[in-house]
């Protein structure tokens, strides 16, 4: 069985399209957009920790936004010039899942806005 087949078996069609094919979910459609409980956000594909609730903020962009990745440093960066735009893609360093993009218009202290697709994340409630 190929890696693609394994991912297709594990993920929904939408999760596969976003995480394995660098797609984007529709704005304001994600289940984690308004999540405000204490907890952490993990990669939908491999489970590594990516973001904490303490860095989540409401950006108004339509996707969950964070001003920093977690201390685990599992988010990687690469140039993305798709769709006629110059952006920085963010991905899971552990399994290469597409997460979204990062922009330089976020709040202090980092000035970053990690714009993340809900379907690329699992939320783990803090116990």
Percent of the chain with pLDDT over 90: 87
pLDDT tens sequence across 5-51: 899 999 999 999 999 999 999 999 999 999 999 999 999 999 999 99
Catalytic residue among 43, 45, 92, 115: 115
- Res 2: pLDDT: 63
Q: How many domains does the chain have?
A: 1
Q: pTM higher than 0.85 for the full model?
A: yes
- Gap between the Cα atoms of 92 and 84, Å rounded: 24
Which residues span the domain enclosing 72? 3-125
Handedness of CA 101, 119, 69, 37 (dihedral sign): positive
Q: How far apart are CA 20 and CA 104, in angstroms?
A: 25
Can you give the CATH number for the domain in which 28 is found?
A: 2.170.150.20
Closest CA to 43 of 121, 124, 126, 125: 121
Residue 115 designated active-site: yes
């Amino acid at each position: 069985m190929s890696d693609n087949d394994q991912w297709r078996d594990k993920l929904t069609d939408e999760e596969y399209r976003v995480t394995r094919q660098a797609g984007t979910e529709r704005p304001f459609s994600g289940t984690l957009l308004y999540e405000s409980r204490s907890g952490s956000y993990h990669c939908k594909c491999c489970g590594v920790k990516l973001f904490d609730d303490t860095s989540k903020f409401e950006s108004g962009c339509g996707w969950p936004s964070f001003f920093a990745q977690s201390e685990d440093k599992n988010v990687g960066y690469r140039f993305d010039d798709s769709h006629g735009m110059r952006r920085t893609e963010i991905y899971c360093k552990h399994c290469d899942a597409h997460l979204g993009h990062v922009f330089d218009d976020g709040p202090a202290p980092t000035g970053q806005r990690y714009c993340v697709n809900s379907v690329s994340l699992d939320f783990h409630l803090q116990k």
